[in-house]
């Protein structure tokens, strides 16, 4: 895709940053208390994640009927950590646990403590735990725990957040057997957590919520479609198939946007096209009118045409879904692909192809204009990241072999931002750089020759893009086979 100087973008319909969280940030005020007499959410509202539900059902039982466990000498867990990327329903799940158990829910977020005066955070925590104990059985939810619980020594911890964390731990260590307060914490950065919080008796249970697979997406869509009139043609399973990489929040957001589009149009039902439009909006952001010169438009058109064309002539790529030079969100144009399956294992061929596809925007600019622009910075970042992973993590470089370079936390999982610790020599660092550069440069050379070879198609595609701003999959495919 083609982004301005600040790159936000995405490559595929995946790896999206979601709106998550915003729904439940109750400002900087006191921990929000949601009384559980009339639970507003139950496990029925949470789709997917059956295993997580099973484990959380246990927590519900502890809260409802602790005696059952105490009588048998079982230790009741004090803390549980929900780990998952933004929008996977961590906050939502925690509320459902409280709702399901019918207990009060105390909600706070690590971020609230970040800019507090020394001492204020700790006293707020004390207050919160006191209140919860008085209301017991009760659930305390600490969102974004990483904001106060970063590994000591890795970042500059303010003494306030450190005190806050200490106070949380002191409170948890001080729970009595009969206190019947359980603390659920959530994070999307398990890699930065201070191991002290994971010790037995603290957050010693962990539940990982991954992005939903096709089945999961289907179920989540069903939950959120319940109160929305869908037209006959809408097939949620098909929607699930086409939303690889969407989180629960993205899906919810998409259906909501679709409803808004239909309502604006004054229609009574939500059509497939509304959902399609809403999905694009969720992925790339809303349409934005921007002033552009004819030269900008041509550059963007060639850039996007380059991406699409090369994806067609390298192996194992996802089919092109739509190419557009309409500005949306941060991007000035985008080429969308439609992954056909959730990927578990990705081949080297596929990664190299992704790198090539990413570099193709820049290559097309260079080929046609003899000049290059800042528009490819986001593509370059992604391609470099992939190449680096190939060399350092996936053992895909002959020269450097099957060695992992850079220690990363075991808790991290694919697609996560993680911090690496350098565990290799200066010399190896140089070799890594060379290898990465070689992957990129080799790919770029090939991309250039592909574009040269198919320059007529490139011209044709760019021309149509300039004319119509959007080229859909079928038209693109037709154009590609024509003169083969
Ligand atoms: P997180 O806290 O992990 O960032 P949230 O709990 O804020 O995510 O999720 C945001 C919204 O996404 C929820 O309010 C809900 O509407 C939707 N959602 C996420 N996961 C699910 C799910 N498994 N089932 C139903 N809705 C979900
Ligand atoms: Zn691009
Ligand atoms: Mg949240």
Q: Which of 48, 213, 215, 249 to mutate to test the pocket of ligand 1 (most atoms within 8 A of CB)?
A: 249
Tens-digit pLDDT profile for residues 179-222: 889 999 999 888 788 888 888 889 989 999 999 999 999 999 99
- Ligand 3 centroid to Cα of residue 50, in Å, is 19
Residue 245 has pLDDT above 90, yes or no: no
Q: Under a CB-based contact definition with an 8 Å cutoff, are residues 111 and 237 in contact?
A: no
- Between residues 456 and 36, the one the model is more confident about: 456
The whole model's pTM is what? 0.79
User: What lines the ligand 1 site, CB under 6 Å?
Assistant: 20-21, 23-24, 46-49, 84, 86-92, 186, 220, 223, 248-249, 252
Q: Which domains does the chain have, with CATH numbers?
A: 23-208 (3.40.50.300), 214-283 (1.10.8.60), 294-483 (1.20.58.760)
Does the structure show a pLDDT above 70 at 21?
A: no
Convert the pLDDT of each residue in 381-414 to its tens digit.
Answer: 999 999 999 999 899 999 999 998 887 654 444 3
Spell out which residues have Cβ within 5 A of ligand 3, the ion: 21, 90-91
Among 71, 82, 56, smallest CA distance to 141 is for 82
Ligand nearest to the CA of 381: 2
Cα gap 465→482, rounded to integer Å: 17
Q: Which are the contacts of 32, defined by CB distance < 8 A and separation ≥ 6?
A: 26, 106, 107, 108
- Surface-to-core class of residue 469, CB atoms within 10 Å of its CB (0-12 exposed, 13-18 middle, 19+ buried): middle
Instruction: Give the mean pLDDT of 346-369.
Output: 95
Q: Which residues are catalytic?
A: 304
- Tell me if residue 151 falls in helix, strand or coil: coil
Q: How far apart are CA 306 and CA 199, in angstroms?
A: 52
Token output for 137: 């059985």
224 vs 207: CA distance, rounded Å: 23
pLDDT tier, 158 (very low <50, low <70, confident <90, very high otherwise): low
pLDDT tens, residue by residue, 32-72: 555 434 458 899 999 999 999 999 999 999 999 888 888 89
Kindly provide the residue ranges of all beta strands, DSSP E only, lying in 325-455, ordered along the sequence.
Answer: 331-337, 407-408, 420-421
Residues 6+ apart with CB under 8 A from 139: 36, 63, 94, 97, 98, 101, 103, 104, 105, 106, 132, 181, 182, 183, 184
Residue nearest to atom 14 of ligand 1 (CA): 92
Look up residue 8 and give its two tokens.
Answer: 């936000």
Report yes or no: 436 and 280 within 8 Å, Cβ to Cβ.
no
CA-nearest residue, atom 17 of ligand 1: 249
- Ligand 1 atom having least distance to the Cα of 86: 4
| 93 CA: nearest ligand 1 atom | 6
CB atoms within 10 A of CB 464: 18
Distance (angstroms) between ligand 1 centre and the Cα of 403 equals 38
Distance 298 CA to ligand 3 centre (A): 41
Site to substitute for ligand 1 among 24, 52, 92, most atoms within 8 A of C-beta: 92
Pick the ligand that lies closest to the CA of residue 108: 3
**CB neighbourhood size of 347 (10 A):** 12
pLDDT digits (tens, 9 = 90+) for 110-123: 888 777 777 788 88
Q: What is the pLDDT of residue 191?
A: 79
3-class SS at 37?
coil
Residue 231 burial class via C-beta count within 10 angstroms: exposed 0-12, middle 13-18, buried 19 and up: middle
Nearest ligand to the C-alpha of residue 142? 3
Cα 18 to ligand 3 centre (Å): 11
Which residue has the least CA distance to atom 27 on ligand 1? 248
Tell me the backbone φ, ψ of residue 332, rounded to 5 degrees.
-95, -15
Distance 86 CA to ligand 1 centre (A): 9
Give helix 294-313 / helix 348-369 axis angle, nearest 10°.
150
CA 106 to chain centre: 26
């Amino acid at each position: 895709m083609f982004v301005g100087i600040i790159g936000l973008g995405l490559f595929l319909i995946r790896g999206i940053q979601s709106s998550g969280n915003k729904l439940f940030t109750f400002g900087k005020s006191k921990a929000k208390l949601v009384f559980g007499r009339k639970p507003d959410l139950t496990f029925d509202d949470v789709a997917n994640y059956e295993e997580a539900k099973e484990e959380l059902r246990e927590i519900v039982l502890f809260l409802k009927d602790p005696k059952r466990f105490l009588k048998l000498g079982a230790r009741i867990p004090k803390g549980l950590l929900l780990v998952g990327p933004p929008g996977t329903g961590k906050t939502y799940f925690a509320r459902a646990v409280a709702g399901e158990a019918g207990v009060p829910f105390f909600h706070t977020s690590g971020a609230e403590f970040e800019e507090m005066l020394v001492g204020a955070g700790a006293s707020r925590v004390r207050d919160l735990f006191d209140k919860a104990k008085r209301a017991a059985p009760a659930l305390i939810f600490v969102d974004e725990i990483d904001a106060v619980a970063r590994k000591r020594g890795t970042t500059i911890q303010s003494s306030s957040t450190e005190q806050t964390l200490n106070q949380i731990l002191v409170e948890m260590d001080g729970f009595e057997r009969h206190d019947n307060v359980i603390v659920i914490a959530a994070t999307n950065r398990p890699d930065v957590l201070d191991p002290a919080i994971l010790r037995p008796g603290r957050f010693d249970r962990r539940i990982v919520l991954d992005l939903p697979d096709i089945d999961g997406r289907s179920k989540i869509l069903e939950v959120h479609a319940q109160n929305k009139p869908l037209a006959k043609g809408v097939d949620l399973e098909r929607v699930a198939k086409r939303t690889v990489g969407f989180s629960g929040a993205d899906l919810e957001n998409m259906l909501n946007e679709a409803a808004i589009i239909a309502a604006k149009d004054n229609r009574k039902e939500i059509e497939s096209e509304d959902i399609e439009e809403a999905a694009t909006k969720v992925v790339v952001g809303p349409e934005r009118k921007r002033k552009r010169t004819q030269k900008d438009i041509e550059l963007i058109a060639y850039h996007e045409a380059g991406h699409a064309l090369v994806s067609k002539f390298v192996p194992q790529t996802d089919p092109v879904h739509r190419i557009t030079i309409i500005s949306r969100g941060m991007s000035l144009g985008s080429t969308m692909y439609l992954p056909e399956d959730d990927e578990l294992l990705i081949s080297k061929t596929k990664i190299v192809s992704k790198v090539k596809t990413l570099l193709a925007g820049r290559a097309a600019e260079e080929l046609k204009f003899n000049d290059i622009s800042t528009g490819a910075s986001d593509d370059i970042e992604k391609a470099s990241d992939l190449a680096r992973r190939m060399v350092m993590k996936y053992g895909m470089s002959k020269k450097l072999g099957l060695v992992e370079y850079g220690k990363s936390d075991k808790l991290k999982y694919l697609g996560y931002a993680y911090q690496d610790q350098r565990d290799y020599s200066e010399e190896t660092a140089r070799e890594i750089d060379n290898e990465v550069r070689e992957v990129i440069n080799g790919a770029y050379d090939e991309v250039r020759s592909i574009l040269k070879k198919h320059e007529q198609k490139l011209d044709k595609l760019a021309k149509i893009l300039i004319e119509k701003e959007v080229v859909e999959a079928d038209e693109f495919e037709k154009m590609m086979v024509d003169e083969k």
